[in-house]
Structure 1
Amino acid sequence: MTPTSPRRSDPAPDIPDTLFADPAAEARWRGRFTAARVSVPDWARDAPERSVYSSNATGTWEIYAWDRASDTHRRVTDRPQGTRGGAASTDGSSIWWFDDHDGDEFGVWVSEPFEGGKATPAVAGAAPGYPAGLELGRRTVAVGWSTDDGSTLAVSEDGGDARVVYRHTEDAGIGALSRDETLLAISHAEHGDSRHPAIRVLRLADGATVGERHDGEGRGLDPIEFAPVEGDRRLLVGHERRGRDELLIWDLATDTETEVAIDLPGDLSAGFYPDASALLVAHTRAGRTTLHRYDLATGELTDLPTAAGSVGGADVRPDGTVEYGWSSAAHPSSVRALHPDGTDTELLAPPGDRPEPSVALDDAWVEGPGGPVHALWARPAGTTGPVPTVFMIHGGPQAADEDRWSPVRAVWVDAGFAVVHVNYRGSSGYGSAWRDAIEGRPGTTELEDVAAVHEWAVSSGLADPAACVLEGWSWGGYLTLLGLGRQPGRWAVGCAGVPVADYLAAYEDEMEPLRAFDRSLFGGSPAEVPDRYAEASPLTWVDQVRAPVLVLAGENDPRCPIRQIDNYLDALAAREVPYAMVRYDAGHGSLVVAETLKHTVAEIAFAREALGLPVPA
C-alpha cells in the first residue's frame, strides 16, 4: 500500500460560492457538471439483454444494471468515493466490480447477483492488489493483480480457487481468453520495457507456452481479443511495426500472422464483429475519431456514419448494431446505436435535463523542435485581441486531448479565458516516434512543445502574455509544476492536480506498475540513472518558481502519492512562494461530481485572484 503523510495544514484557496454574477450563467455552467451522464453499456455475452454501465446520476460515478427486456435499471454500487467500472458475467447472472478503499485502486474483484444481493469476493484465493486485467468466460475466469512484488495472473475454473498461471517481478496483465477457454493471451514486460510489451499465449490445461511474440526494442504488442467463435483460435493483436498503431491477426492454430492492411493515416484500434467475419475499426487522427467496418475476407473498408468528434468506446451487438459513445467540444456526450439499416439513434438517455452546448475547438499546427505540434483551442465568444489564456495540459503522458465534451473547458471559456490544449511529444495518436520521443528525457521534451504553442498563441494575438495559466492533472499536473520552475517567465499562475512533484519520493511510494513504467520511460530506476530523475523532478527547479501555485491532491492516491507532494509544498513554503492546497479523501482524481465542481471553482477563482481579474457581470 502507498505510504501517506500525516494530515497537515496548508493555505487553503478562497473557494467562492459562485463564479458568475449572472444567475443564468451560473446555472448554465453548473448544469454542465451536474447533468447525468452514462457510459457505453457492457452486455452479458450469452444474455445480451442484461447490461452493465456507469453513471453519475446520483452525483457520484457508480455501477448500474440494465435489464433491456423490461427496460429496468438498478444502481449496483453505493460507495462514498464512487466505483470505477464493472462487467457482466457471461451468462448475465452476476455483476463484477472492483472493490478498493476510498479510491486507492488496491483491492479485489467482487460479484453480486444481477437482480441484487450481497457482494462477495469473486475469485477465491485471489490476493488483494492493483488490478491487472479480467476476462470472464463461461466456466473460466482469468484475473490479474500486481503488488510491490510484481504481477500475478491466475485462473479460476467452475468457481474454484485461483490457480496461478504466471508470476513475474516485471509488469504483466491479462489480455484475452479464447472462446473455448483453452488459451490465455497475456502481455508482459520480462524484457524490462512495460511501455512496449510482448505477448505470450498460455495453454490453461498445463500452463505451457504455445506462442510468443516480441517485436523488439521500441515496438509493443497488444493482445486485444480472440475471435468470438468456438474453435476459432485467431487472436487480434495491436502492433506498431510501421511507426503507428495498426492491427494483425495471429492464428494460434497454424502459428501464422496476417497483417490487416488499412489505408488510413492515423492510429487504429479494433474489435471483432460477433461472427468474426469483420472488424469494427476506430481510426484516430488529430484528436478526432471515425468508425469503420473492415471485412476480413475481402479487405473492404466501409465507413460508418458518425458525426465529427470523438468516440469513447464502441462494440457490436449480436444483431450487428454498433453501440458507441460520442461527443464533441460543442455538444454533450451521448450513447448511441448505429443500426444495420443505417439509422442512428440515442440508445441510453440519462435522466434529467441535458447540459447546454459550449464552443467548438479549432485546430493549430505549430512548428516545434521535434516537428509540427497539434493544438486545439477555443476563445470566449465575442472576444477579439489577446485574452487571459489557460493552457490545459493533458495527463498520461500516453493520451491526447481530443475534440470531446468537457464541462471543465466550457466553464473556463465562459469565465473569459481562451483554452489551449497541446498534444505534445509523448501524446498518443500521432505515431510511435512522437509518443516515444520523451523516453530518456521526460518533462523537458514536452515542455519544449508547450513553449512553442505558447509562443504561437501570443504571436497570433490569442493569448495575453501577462495572463497565461498553466494547468493540468496527473502527468499534466506534473508538467505544470515542472513548467513553473523551468519556464518561469511564461506563466503567471499554475494549477496542478494530482501531480508528480518530487520524482524520487514518488518512485519510492507509487504503485509497482508505475515504477515499471518509469523505468521504461527514464531508461532505469533512480539508482541507475539518478541524474535523469533529478533533471525531471519539479522539486529540483522549485527555486525558480515565481508564479502562485495551486495544488489539488487525493490523500489515497497510489499514482502520485501525497508524501512527495508534501515535500514540494514544504519547499514552496520555505521559499515563501505563494501557494494554496486542496486535499480530498480519494485517490487519483475524484468520482464525486461535487468534488470535481469544487476543484474547478478553486482553480478559476485562484487564477482570477492571481491575475487580478474581476468576476464577470
Structure 2
Amino acid sequence: MTESYGSATGDREAGGEMAEDTTERMPDWERRFRAPRVSLPDWALDAPHRALFVSNATGTYELYSWDRETGEQQQVTHRPNGTTDGVLSPDGEWIWWFDDKDGDEFGVWRRRPFAGGEDELATPGLDPSYPAGLALGRDGRTAVVGRSTDEDGTTIHLARTGEPPLEIYRHRESAGVGDLSHDGSLIAVEHTEHGDAMHSALRVLRPDGTTVAELDDTEGGTRELGLEVLGFAPVDGDTRLLVGHQRRGRWEPMVWDVATGRETDLVLDLPGDVSAEWYPDGSALLVVHGFEARSELFRYDLGSGRLERIPTPPGTVSGATARPDGTVEYLWSSAAEPPAVRSTSGRVVLDPPGMRCPGSVPVEDVWVEGPGGRIHALVQKPAGATGPLPTVFDIHGGPTWHDSDSFAAGPAAWVDHGYAVVRVNYRGSTGYGRAWTDALKHRVGLIELEDVAAVREWAIGSGLADPERLILTGASWGGYLTLLGLGTQPDAWALGIAVVPVADYVTAYHDEMEALKAMDRTLLGGTPEEVPERFAASSPLTYVDRVTAPVYISAGVNDPRCPIRQIENYVARLKSRDAVHEVYRYDAGHGSLVVDERIKQVRLELDFAERHLPRAD
C-alpha cells in the first residue's frame, strides 16, 4: 500500500446540464468540464445486475445506483462538495459511502439500502478517521474497516452488525485493508511495518486477528521491493490470493496460495507494468498492461497459460472488469477522444445524458535524454500551429503516478487558448520500471526538476516553445514542483501556477495526514528533526526569495494532504517582498468535486496567464 499526495480531485473532469441556448454560446473548453461523465460501474458479486457508479450529471460528483435489469438509476449521495468514495456490498443490498467534512478526508462510513432509504452509521463504535481500506463480506453483515489517525497510526477492525467492532490489527506505520476472501475466513493486509511507505509487505489474518501467512519482499526494509493485494479468488473456500510484485524491476502479477505457501509466477511477455484481476469463476485473469503512457487488455487462462489480447482502441484503459457472461467492460479514453464506458460485446454500457463532450488534439510522444536516462514526455499543441509557441509545462501529481494518452480537460483548455502543453513523466513516475519510480528518494523534488529542465531544453531547441513565454504549473505534487522550480530555476520560467501545492515542507509534514508523514519519512530518510538538511533542500520555502516570476496559488482550506497553513507561510514570504502573486482559497479539500468551482479555477488560471505572460514580439 502506497500513500501519495496524489492528483488533486480538482483535476477530475466535470459536468452538469445547461439550458440549450447557454451551451450554444459556451466555449469548448468549458463544455469539456460540464459534459456529463460516468465512471466504470462496479457490480455486486452475487447480484451482478446491481451496480454503483460516479457521475457529475448534477454539476457535482456523486454516487449513483443502477439496476441493470430495470434500467433504474438513483442518486445515492447529495452533498454540497460531492462524494466519490463508495462500495457496493457483494449481495447488492447495501451501498457504503465515506462521509467527511468538506473534503478533509476525515470521517465515517455510512450506508443505505440499494433500493433506497435513509442513511445510517455503518460502523457504530468506531470514531472518525482517515480511511485505510474497506472490504465487505458476502454475508451482508461483516466488514473489515481500515482506519488511520495521528494518535493510533493504522488500525483495522472487524465489524459485524449488532456486535462491537473487534480490533484485529494495529501499527504505528501505514497499512491498509487489501481484501476479504470469498468465504470471509481470510483477510489480506498491506503494511509498511518495516518503515518504507513506498514498498508494502503482506499479511493474511483470520477474523480473530491471528496470522495465517506473511509475504515480504523488502527483507525488513533492506530491499526496495513492494507487494500489493490484487484480490482473493472469487470462489468459496479458495485460498489463492492474486498479488502484484516487483521482483523483476516492474509490477507483475503472481498467484499466492496463502494456505500452502505456493507461489505461481506468471511470466507474461509484455514490456512495462502489468496488473490483473480475477474473472468471476476464478479460471482466468483480466490483465491490464501499461507501457509508455498507454494501456491494453488481455485474458490470461490459468489452466493453459494462454494470453489472448482483448481489442481496445489506442489510448488508456483507466478501469476494466470481467462480467459473469465473459464480456469485459472498460473505461477508455485518449487525449483526443473523451472517456466512454465500452464493452467487448459492442454494446454501450452506460451513456450519460446531456451535452456531448468536445474532443481535443492528440498527443505526440517525445523522448529526451536526461541525467538519469530517457525521459518520456507527451506534447499537445493547437492544430496546424507552428512554433515557437507559449508553452505550458503541466506537471503531474503523485509523485508515484504518470501522465498518459488519456482525456484531460485541463490541458485541452490551454491548447484551445493557443498554448502548447508538455507533460513530463519525470523520475518518480510509474510505468517505466521500479528504478525510475524510486529514483527521487532523498533528493526529493530536485531529481524531478532535472528531468523537467531537460525536456524544457528540448522544447526550446526543437522550436516548439518560446523561451520567454514558458509556464510551469501543476496540482498537488505537481504544484509542489512548480513552486520548487520557480525558486531553483528562476530564469527558466515566465510564470508559475501552483494548485494545492506543498510550499513549506516542514510545516506541511507536521500538519498533514499521518499516512503522508510516513511517505515523507521514506522519501527524505526521516523526520524534519532527524534530517533537517534534506527537508530544507527540498522545500520551496527555502528558495522563495529567489522567485522572480509572477506566482498564482490556489488552495483548499480543508486540505489534509497539502494543508493551508504551510501555504500561508509561503505566501507571507512573497508578500513581505512585494513579489507579484495572487492566491485563491476555496472551501474544499485537495481539489473540488463541484463543476462550477473547477471551471472558476481554470478561468482564473487562464486569466492570470493572460495578464502576466509576456507578449509575443
TM-score, normalization: structure 2?
A: 0.94
Where in structure 2 are the equivalents of 1:207-606 lying within 5 Å? Answer: 207-216=209-218, 217-339=223-345, 344-606=346-608
Amino acid at match of 1:393: I
Aligned residues: 588
- Alpha-carbon displacement from aligned partner over 1:262-301 (angstroms, at most 9, x marks no partner): 0100101110001111110100011101000111111111
**Partner residue, 2:29:** 29
Residue 111 of structure 1 corresponds to 111
Tell me the alpha carbon deviations over residues 182-228 of structure 1, each in whole angstroms, 9 at most, x when there is no partner. Answer: 11010111101111011000111x32111111112210111110000
Q: For each residue in 1:236-264, what CA deviation from the matched residue of structure 2 results, as whole angstroms up to 9, or x when unmatched?
A: 00000111001111101211111111010
Tell me by how many angstroms 1:126 deviates: 2.1
2: CA distance between counterparts of 1:433 and 1:220? 12
CA distance in 2, matches of 1:96, 1:475: 30
Taking a change above 3 Å as real, the CA distance of residues 143 and 360 of structure 1, as seen in their structure-2 partners, is same
Q: Is the 8 A contact 1:123 1:159 kept in 2?
A: no
Q: 1:25, CA displacement in angstroms?
A: 8.1
Q: Percent identity?
A: 57
Question: What is the CA–CA distance in structure 1 between the aligned matches of 2:435 and 2:411, rounded to whole Å?
Answer: 29
- 1:165 to partner: Cα distance: 0.3
C-alpha separation in 2, matches of 1:460 and 1:377: 12
Note if contact 1:124-1:160 (Cα within 8 Å) is conserved in structure 2.
Answer: no
Give the distance between the partners of 1:346 and 1:68, measured in 2 at CA.
13
Cα distance in 1 for partners of 2:380, 2:138 equals: 49
In the alignment, structure 1 residue 180 sits paired with structure 2 residue 157:
no
Counterpart contact for 2:212–2:259, Cα < 8 Å: no
Greater CA drift, 434-443 or 80-89: 80-89
Partner Cα distance (1:62, 1:315) in 2 = 21
Question: Which runs of 5 or more residues in structure 1 are unaligned?
Answer: 1-22
* DSSP 3-state at the match of 2:347: strand
1:83 maps to 83
Contact kept, 8 Å, 2:468 with 2:614, in 1: the verdict is no
Q: Please give the alpha-carbon distance, in whole angstroms, between the structure 2 residues aligned to 1:235 and 1:395.
A: 30
Contact 1:153/1:164 (<8 A) preserved:
yes
Structure 1 residues 286 and 564: CA distance shift in structure 2, 3 A: same
Q: Which amino acid aligns with 1:155?
A: L
Residue of structure 1 equivalent to 2:194: 191
Cα offset for 1:158? 4.5
Structure 1: distance between partners of 2:280 and 2:539: 48
Q: Indicate the residue corresponding to 2:16 in structure 1.
A: none
Question: Given residue 355 of structure 1, which amino acid in structure 2 is its aligned partner?
Answer: C
Provide the C-alpha distance between the structure 2 equivalents of 1:492 and 1:416, rounded to a whole number of angstroms: 16
Contact between 2:469 and 2:614, CA under 8 Å: does it hold in 1? no
Alpha-carbon distance in structure 2 between the residues aligned to 1:317 and 1:160: 34
SS of the residue corresponding to residue 480 of structure 1 reads: helix
What is aligned with 1:138? 138
Q: Distance in 2 between matches of 1:360 and 1:529?
A: 44
Determine if contact 1:550/1:581 at 8 Å carries over to the other structure.
Answer: yes
For structure 2, list consecutive stretches of 5 or more residues without a partner in the other structure: 1-22
User: How much is the aligned-residue C-alpha RMSD, in angstroms?
Assistant: 1.3
Partners of 1:88 and 1:96 within 8 A in 2: yes
**Distance between the aligned counterparts of 1:585 and 1:29, measured in 2?**
24
Using a 3 Å threshold, how does the CA distance of structure 1 residues 361 and 33 change in structure 2: closer, same or farther? Answer: same
| Alpha-carbon distance in 2 for matches of 1:91, 1:239 | 31
Q: How far apart, CA to CA, are the structure 1 residues paired with 2:248 and 2:546?
A: 41
Tell me if structure 2 keeps the 8 A contact 1:144–1:152: yes
Once the two structures are superposed, the pairs formed by residues 194-205 of structure 1 within 5 Å of their partners are: 194-204=197-207
- Whether the 8 Å contact between 1:127 and 1:145 is mirrored in structure 2 is no
Q: Distance in 2 between matches of 1:523 and 1:249?
A: 33
Match of 1:160 in 2: 163
1: CA distance, partners of 2:341 / 2:461: 40
Aligned partners of 2:240, 2:224: CA distance in 1, in Å? Answer: 25
SS in 2 for 1:531: helix
Match of 1:38 in 2: 38
Shift of 1:89: 1.4
- Show CA shifts across 1:62-89 (max 9, x none): 0001011110111111101000221111
Structure 1 residue 543: Cα displacement: 1.1
1:542 corresponds to which letter in structure 2?
V
Q: In 2, Cα distance between the equivalents of 1:371 and 1:437?
A: 11
Equivalent AA in structure 1 for residue 300 of structure 2: Y
Code of the residue aligned with 1:460 in structure 2: it is S
- Could you say which residue in structure 2 is the equivalent of 1:3? none
Aligned equivalent of 1:7: none
What is the CA-CA distance between 1:484 and the residue it aligns to?
0.2
Report if the CA contact (8 A) 1:151-1:171 is conserved.
yes
Residues 104 and 557 of structure 1 are in contact (CA less than 8 Å); yes or no, is this contact kept in structure 2? yes
Contact 1:555–1:562 at 8 Å: present in 2 too? yes
Partners of 2:36 and 2:227 in 1: CA distance: 37
Q: What is the alpha-carbon distance in structure 1 between the residues aligned to residue 337 and residue 25 of structure 2?
A: 18
Alpha-carbon separation, structure 1, partners of 2:81 and 2:24:
30
How many angstroms does 1:612 deviate by? 4.2
Q: Secondary structure at the match of 1:567?
A: helix
**Structure 1 counterpart of 2:264, which letter?**
T
By how many angstroms is 1:613 displaced?
4.8
Instruction: Write the letter of the residue equivalent to 2:77.
Output: T
